[in-house]
Amino acid sequence: MDKNEIKAIIKKKNVKFIRLQFTDIFGTLKNVAVTANQIEKALNNKCMFDGSSIEGFVRIEESDMYLHPDLDTFTIFPWCGDENKTARLICDVYKTNGQPFEGDPRYILRRAVKEAADMGFTFNVGPECEFFLFDTNELTGVTNRPTDNAGYFDLGPVDKGEDARRDICLNLEQMGFNIEAAHHECARGQHEIDFEYSNALTAADNIMTFKLAVKCIANNHGLYASFMPKPIFNEAGSGMHINMSLFKKGKNIFENKNDKLGLSNDAYSFIAGLLEHARGMTAITNPLVNSYKRLVAGYEAPVYITWSVFNRSPLVRIPSAKGAETRIELRHPDPSANPYLTLAVSLMAGLDGIKRNLTPPAAIDGNVYLMNEKDLEENKIQRLPKDLDEAIAELGKDKVMIEALGNHVFNKFTEAKLSEWVDYSNQVHQWELDKYLPIY
């Protein structure tokens, strides 16, 4: 896309508003909306905002920031209708001196992708995003009452979210998404929509667009969509599995036809890097107090730092697809994670494995959930952090992860998340009242 093409589309389609979108370090989508007659200013990188008002960005004395639209991200939101037709441009955040803002998650992913490119690699990603559809109420609009009691791969009329899910897919296709599959997941009211892989930056942009589309279209159906990792006790939580591959000169370098698992040495080293940095990256991939309610045994979410080809309990799984589709699936990220930071730390962990020629431990092909403490110790299997507090501590020990994030984001992120943990720890929860109040 170029500026003239965008302006022509805006005029031809009678677009009224353009949202200049960006993402804060916690993965929350932000935007500055301009009317169509301001598009020239926007396309020339002249739109400013107050960075001190965005949590985790900058101090008030250095607050002016500029939005630089990525022209290739221009698209029209189909669900907004014709009367107030709205388009968007995803932006990079720049400082007044013309330099990229080091706290912009998109910049952090760009930096990681450049490091891969300097090694001759293109990083491709295929995400699998799960979410819940809940009924609403008149007071807040937010509940955790599932719209249905359906299960894995069920369909209507049991799956009462089927119409909303179909509408989400059709709207996304109008925006250029290639939808590969959509289905009801295993928990009540839980759904998954998978879209085609792309380069890492596009994949992260697509995840943010996907989450916005799901919430807006669900709202149009009178439903509330949630990407909270574990909104219902005793049900499976929502994951955001990340399928990753590295290409070099158009060839998937993870493929090796002569290996019994079909994997190259670089693939094994990439796996080893992911495993070595798993504990350090978990605060990024699982950034909420609630994230750790999902990472428990029995719900197909990983708990232990292992890898396998044959089952879904390990942290890293190798899907059965071979050849150009050979890939590595990282299973612990959840959809509350900032996708730009998640892909950046995952890529840097894997590249560190390749740079150091690391070798992963033996694959664990049995159900790791069934292992006792002796089995885990004999196999030298570590577990993921058990809560956000432990995850933050592990992030602070991992120099590769800190370097991937940069000092600004590392410091702002850990400061905010420690505050979140302290706030949670000081609360008196309903479970405590139910458990102890009748007794003591």
Q: Residue 51's pLDDT is what?
A: 77
CA distances from 380 to 278, 363, 368, 373 (A): 15, 12, 12, 10
d(CA 84, CA 195) in angstroms, rounded, equals 28
Regions of the chain short of the pLDDT cut 50: 61
Q: Are the folds of 3-101 and 111-431 the same? A: no
- At residue 322, the pLDDT reads 83
- For tokens 């720890």, name the residue: 425
Map out the domains of the chain as residue ranges.
3-101, 111-431
- Give the pLDDT confidence score for residue 435 in this predicted structure: 95
d(CA 297, CA 209): 31
CB burial class (10 A; 0-12, 13-18, 19+) of residue 41?
Answer: exposed
pLDDT of amino acid 364: 85
DSSP state of 186: S
Q: Are 390 and 414 in contact (CB under 8 A)?
A: no
- What Å distances lie between residue 231 and 150, 189, 237, 429, CA to CA? 16, 11, 7, 15
Measured distance CA(62)–CA(104) in Å, rounded = 15
3-class secondary structure, 89:
strand
Q: Please answer whether residues 143 and 135 qualify as being in contact, where contact means their C-beta atoms are separated by less than 8 angstroms.
A: yes
At 137 the three-state DSSP class reads coil
**Could you count the other beta carbons within 10 Å of the beta carbon of residue 60?**
9
The C-alpha atoms of residue 294 and residue 236 are separated, in whole angstroms, by: 7
- CB-facing half-sphere around the CA of 290: CA atoms within 13 A: 16
Give dist(CA 210, CA 196) in Å, integer: 12
> Which fold is adopted by the domain 3-101?
Ubiquitin-like (UB roll) (3.10.20)
Strand 224-226 with 64-69, pairing: unpaired
Q: How many CB atoms lie within 10 A of CB 154?
A: 16
pLDDT at 269: 97
pLDDT value for 242 = 96
Nearest in space to 405 (alpha carbons), one of 284, 286, 245: 284
Q: What is the pLDDT of residue 53?
A: 67
Question: What's the CATH fold of domain 111-431?
Answer: Creatine Kinase; Chain A, domain 2 (3.30.590)
Q: Is the model's pTM score more than 0.85?
A: yes
Q: E-strand spans in 169-217?
A: 179-184, 190-195, 198-199
